[in-house]
Amino acid sequence: MVEMSTPEEKKEKIKTRYAQVIVSESIGKPYFEILWYDEKRNDFNIGYGSYCMEYVFQWMNEGFEFTEEKTLAPIIYANWEWFDENVGTPIDGCDREFGWRCSKCKEVLGDEYDSPEEKPNLKYCSHCGARMEG
């Protein structure tokens, strides 16, 4: 087990009623992060990530304090939205970006979802965890 901190280095724990470890893919390897609910912002945060799952679970155990019995997080709903935008400036050069993105966090799906006629059949956003409607 990796030693994360000494008693002198203890920081204030993040208070939440919900936290979980989520996994995504980065450079072809699983990447683990903590998704937690921020009561003050009434929104989710994602952070404390590593390619080492053991580190992330240890960070969650050491760095988070549950304010009440662990509960299910509020369900955040979103939609896949098609976008087609010109970006850049005439000086720097203009470019066109298009594809499907989450209406909540604006995370863009990969190139395999670049057809406006084929709405993604993904039930959740892998970035923010929002449940997709419709």
Mean pLDDT to the nearest integer, 60-80:
77
Domain boundary (37, 66, 95) is at 66
Question: Could you give the number of structural domains in the chain?
Answer: 2
What is the predicted pLDDT for the residue at 26? 79
Look over the chain and give the mean of its residue pLDDT values, rounded to a whole number. 82
**How confident is the model over 11-54, as pLDDT tens digits?**
788 888 888 888 887 787 888 899 888 877 878 889 999 999 89
Give the structural domain span for 22: 7-66
* Whether the predicted pLDDT of 69 surpasses 70: no
pLDDT band with cut points at 50, 70 and 90 for residue 128: confident
Residue 79 has what pLDDT? 92
Do 83 and 126 fall within a single domain? yes
In a domain, 116, yes or no: yes
Same domain for 87 and 61: no
Establish if 2 belongs to a structural domain: no
In a domain, 1, yes or no: no
Q: What confidence category does residue 107 fall into, taking pLDDT thresholds of 50, 70 and 90? A: very high
At 1, the pLDDT band (50, 70, 90 cuts) reads very low
- Is the overall model pTM greater than 0.85, yes or no? no
Shared domain for 15 and 57, answered yes or no, is yes
CA nearest neighbour of 24 among 115, 114, 112, 107: 107
pLDDT at position 75 is: 67
Q: How far is CA 116 from CA 13, 99, 111, in A?
A: 44, 7, 12
How far apart are alpha carbons 127 and 25 in whole angstroms? 11
Q: How many CA atoms lie within 13 A of 15 on its CB side?
A: 6
